[in-house]
Amino acid sequence: MPLNIGFVSTRFSGTDGVTLESSKWAEVFQQNGHHCFWFAGELDRGNGSRYLVREAHFQDPVNRWINQEVVGRKERKPSITQAIHEQRAFLKEHLHIFIQRFGLQLLIVQNALTIPMHVPLGLALTETIAETQIPTICHHHDFYWERVRFSVNAVNDYLRMAFPPHLPNIQHAVINSEAREQLALRTGITSVIVPNVLDFETPPRIDDEGTHRFRQSLDLQPDDIMILQPTRIVRRKGIEHAIELVKALNDPRCKLIISHEAGDEGFEYAEWLKDYACENQVDLRLVTTRISDPWHSGPREAPSLSLWDVYPHADFITFPSLYEGFGNAFLEAIYFRKPLLVNRYATFVRDIEPLGFDLAVMDGYLSKQTVQLVREVLSSRDRRTQMVDTNYAIAQRHYSYRRLRERLNLMLAGLFGDAVVPLQQGPPDAEADGFLTIDPLQVVFKRFSNRDCAGRTNPLTGLRHEI
């Protein structure tokens, strides 16, 4: 039977890992006739039905204030507890409406019950899942115990309750071996490893016009060598190592391009990178055009380019991350048959490196041998071809949509038994029409199942509901 599936997170927009993997999951479901709907505080979903509640965004002012009061502190004020529960109740009402409005039969919670960027949303989701007993898959990208900033907090009671919850109607998915072991050790919860994937069964379709615009926007000359850092500008991406690589190559044709914007964790690191590049006489160029999710089929914001417009022009990819749950940029570089440099972060060492990829590898620092290998790859077409073809074949075996379908089928069987036909490779199916947008300044609901929420006001935002 086709399912109405609701995806829930704080944000489905742009090119962060949660958004990208959610889009891939949705594509696989839609190829099998299922219908996908979206709930978040920021949405760029164009074709699917959506339910936008801006208070669900981790950058919502009330949520930011709550985080400031509970992260890095051990004591929680009664006023903060009250604010958390007022927001929890408010968001829980919207989640119930979301489920009823679209007749949802399956929830897929993307990282909102994993890392406590939005504690009230996590509590609201946990209570909603327990109250409705709706079958749920929780897709965990990075747990709070993996981040130093959450090691001291004033919400440990809530973290044990909801990040993640231990409920019988939930199937849990993690993205690496360490996460599966730590989840079981800390909570007793069993999980399925679902690594990041790409459709290696279908080679990428390249928009020649888009890629031409991209190169023009960067003022690159025909003989320039484009070294691409295809990540957000956050400290754990280790982008300073990419600057060091370009300096070590000592070739004025080499230009370092960073494709994603800064902002999720502030702008101080971005400013430091600019200064560091200047000190090392490295030509660093930041993409100012918004880069969008390549699986987003609706109208894009203008000006906007897809990630798929960026990769074709790269001559080499740098991915010197200090920490990654998995690493989308790693797979994307292989998908576009680009050579790349990888730092040996923990998940790479344990789950990826043993598969035998042919890469330029660093282990916390750039050695002369690594720099020389990069030079060799850039100067030799044969060496480049050997590298990218080997990597594509390995990724096709281990990180294709076929692997995703296998793991999703395992979890669906645990939730529905034989009632749902296993996912298979097939043509895309059109999504359901229509959308519901919840604007924080003006909200009118036509119906809320059999529950009466008329006259309810969010005490923190003044938002009033009407039937």
- pLDDT per position as a tens digit, 332-346: 999 999 999 999 999
Token pair listed for 160: 């044990």
Over residues 301-314, the pLDDT tens digits come to 444 566 777 888 89
**Domains in the chain: boundaries:** 4-197+401-438, 208-398
In this prediction, residue 291 has a pLDDT band, given cuts at 50, 70 and 90, of: low
Kindly give, in sequence order, each residue whose CB lies less than 8 Å from that of residue 192, ignoring residues fewer than 6 positions away: 171, 172, 173, 174, 407, 410, 411
Pick the CATH number of 208-398 from 3.40.50.2000, 3.40.50.740, 3.40.50.11030, 1.10.260.40: 3.40.50.2000
Sheet holding 225-229, edge to edge: 284-286, 254-258, 225-229, 316-319, 340-343, 360-362
Pick the CATH number of 4-197+401-438 from 3.40.50.300, 3.40.50.2000, 3.40.470.10, 3.30.565.10: 3.40.50.2000
Q: For residues 195 and 217, is the Cβ–Cβ distance under 8 A? A: no
pLDDT at 75: 96
pLDDT at 29: 96
- Cα–Cα distance, 55 to 94 (Å, whole number): 10
pLDDT tops 60 at residue 435: no
Q: For residues 331 and 403, is the Cβ–Cβ distance under 8 A? A: no
pLDDT at 447: 25
**What does pTM read for this prediction?**
0.82
Over residues 126-169, the pLDDT tens digits come to 999 999 999 999 999 999 999 999 999 999 999 999 999 999 99
DSSP 364: S
Tell me what the mean pLDDT of segment 159-186 comes to.
97
Which residue type sits at 185?
L
